[in-house]
């Protein structure tokens, strides 16, 4: 991946700030999957290592908070359901959207991606927190588990 200039990074950071402000004012919902995917892509797609984040949503699917909970290496990040559940309860989230990046640019979910999605869905279901989607992002595009019938 090419290094971005300081001007390009400044522009990207400004775009993220604008999108975050819009999302917090207008409710980022699962029914607007393009906005969700764009938001996720802007947050973590350009990282050189794998990041796993969660959009914590209220019952009306309005964004409460986005947080990168786990940071990994170039091809993996350890994800702990206990930590996701703890944060969801702390924020009183009614739903979440999971997201992580693939620095390789490959958007197809791995078997590990599918397994952690199932584990998180099962764990959060016990707490009445719905997993609405899991979005994989890279600089080349996005992949939605919900849109592809994997959730």
Mean pLDDT per 10-residue section of the chain, whose length is 151 residues: 65 68 54 87 93 95 94 92 98 97 94 97 97 95 95 89
pLDDT for 30 equals: 55
State residue 15's pLDDT score. 73
- The reported pLDDT for the residue numbered 25 is 45
Residues 6+ apart with CB under 8 A from 49: 71, 72, 73, 74, 77, 103
CB within 8 Å of 42: residues ≥ 6 apart? 12, 15, 16, 19
What CATH number is associated with residue 50? Answer: 3.40.140.10
> Is residue 49 a part of any domain in this protein?
yes
> What range does the domain containing 86 cover?
6-144
Q: Does a structural domain hold residue 151?
A: no
What pTM did the predictor assign? Answer: 0.82
Give a yes or no: residue 1 inside a domain. no
The reply to whether 85 falls in a domain is yes
pLDDT at 1: 45
**Number of domains the chain is built from:** 1
pLDDT of residue 7: 73
**Residue at 149 is within a domain:** no
């Amino acid at each position: 991946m090419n290094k971005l200039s300081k001007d390009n990074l400044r522009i990207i950071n400004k775009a993220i700030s604008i999108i975050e402000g819009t999302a917090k004012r207008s409710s980022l919902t699962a029914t607007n999957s393009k906005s969700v995917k764009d938001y996720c892509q802007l947050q973590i797609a350009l990282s050189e290592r794998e990041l796993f984040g969660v959009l914590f949503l209220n019952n009306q699917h309005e964004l409460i908070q986005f947080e990168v909970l786990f940071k990994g290496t170039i091809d993996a990040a350890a994800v702990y359901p206990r930590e996701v559940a703890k944060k969801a309860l702390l924020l009183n989230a009614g739903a979440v959207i999971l997201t992580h990046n693939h620095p390789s640019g490959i958007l197809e979910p791995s078997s590990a991606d599918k397994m952690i999605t199932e584990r998180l869905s099962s764990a959060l279901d016990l707490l009445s927190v719905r997993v609405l989607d899991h979005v994989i992002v890279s600089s080349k595009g996005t992949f939605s588990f919900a849109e592809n019938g994997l959730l």
